[in-house]
Amino acid sequence: MNTANRTKSQQLQARAEQFFPGGVNSPVRAFRSVGGAPPFIARAEGACLHDADGNRYIDYFGSWGPMILGHAFPPVVEAIARAAKNSASYGASTAAEADLAERVTACYPVLEKLRFVSSGTEATMSAIRLARAATNRKLIIKFEGCYHGHADGLLVKAGSGIATLGIPGSAGVPEEIAGLTLALPYNDVAAVEAAFRAHPNQIAAIILEPVVGNAGCILPAEGYHAALRKLTREHGALLIIDEVMTGFRVALGGAVERFSLDPDLVTLGKIVGGGLPVGVYGGKRQFMDLIAPLGPVYQAGTLSGNPLAMAAGIATLDYLIAHKVEVYSKLESLSKQLTEGVATAAREAGIALTTNRCGAMWTWFFTAGPVSNYDQAATSDTAAFGRFHNHLLNNGIWLPPSQFEAAFLSTAHTEADIAQTVSVAREAFNN
């Protein structure tokens, strides 16, 4: 299968550039770090994307995570259609909001109360505002390479699209705001201890991706989460676990379940909306009761709890809950088979490759490794990744178009998909 002919996509890209900066509505879609013409999608089903030129691709980014059950999963499509018949939005409360919240909290008992918003950025931004109000402190610790949305104070050393584009931060972020964020190396407990010593009674919270996904997939060192929990408690700061990417992905209860975490606040997104825009922030009751109208912390959103997103989320979580063992054992097995197959092909070809995986999210770093923080991820040969990406794309395999993004697998993928991907990867390594 050769999908290199993307004439119509190129025409659509040229048209889009008349309207959007770079022709895209999210920077990584522009393919700047891997080169080539980005395909324009016409439709998707199961594990496959189909572009405007009629090309078919096995999809390993899954709308950046939410398509855990594959594209156009029938129960989700049917739920959205039923909800849409009654209206796309009300701006008023519906029973579906609590219906979905009931399912979310069943999987995340640490969420004693929660609030739906419309994006992961909204969720993390709101959680940080709440942490500052709860502690009456200003400083936030985040970790290099972790991306928590595009709110001003969170774009400091934010990995992902920023790393892909080679931007050190973002223009338009005042120094005064950036100065309230302390960006520390991931997996370095001593750096966190030093920050608390240097800023006594000033740090409101630590926010982290429990498994980094936005500098590529980076796993926590043994005892790392526990050390952060201990330090936050000792110093009166909150621990915010950002599971926008890992939530329901690395386990039904996300990283909180997989690593037995006890955060003060959690943020979620992506899978919770079944592919529609949604975000969640929540946690311990004593903090969530500070949110208006109960308390002084204001946060609002006309489309929060949107009925279409609630319907899609309910259908998705109902399936995941009912088929927990089957779903997560399949995701684990296929992901292991895929990542090890490609790693073996690289080793046989003498290609330096480090594979990091947690459940059904992973990254192949083009470096000898190991990769346990952003600086190590940044040693990757991005040109080699770009060549690898293009060879796969031209042969019907679509990886995230950045060395610094995690890849994802869905229950719709098959062993045949895995075998085809490993075969094409082997060709790429031997070209």
Q: What amino acid positions are annotated as catalytic residues? A: 147, 242, 270
Taking every pair of C-alpha atoms in the chain, what is the biggest distance, in angstroms? 62
Q: What is the side-by-side strand order in the sheet with 48-51?
A: 41-45, 48-51, 56-59, 397-398
What is the C-alpha to C-alpha distance for residues 365 and 355, in angstroms, rounded to an integer? 6
Q: What is the side-by-side strand order in the sheet with 279-283?
A: 113-117, 279-283, 265-269, 238-243, 203-208, 139-143, 181-184
Q: How many CA atoms lie within 13 A of 156 on its CB side?
A: 20
Within 141-242, where are the H helices? Answer: 160-165, 175-178, 189-198, 224-235
Q: What's the start-to-end Cα distance of the chain, in Å?
A: 17
Taking CA 385 as the corner, what is the angle to CA 380 and CA 386, rounded to the nearest 5 degrees?
A: 130
What is the C-alpha to C-alpha distance for residues 425 and 391, in angstroms, rounded to an integer? 8
Burial of 196 (0-12, 13-18, 19+ CB in 10 A): buried
Contact between 385 and 403 under an 8 Å Cβ cutoff? The reply is: yes
What is the C-alpha to C-alpha distance for residues 10 and 7, in angstroms, rounded to an integer? 5
Amino acid code (one letter) for 372: S
Residue matched to tokens 């709440």: 130
What is the C-alpha to C-alpha distance for residues 257 and 17, in angstroms, rounded to an integer? 43
CA dihedral over 310, 331, 47, 33, signed as positive or negative:
positive
DSSP summary character for residue 1: -
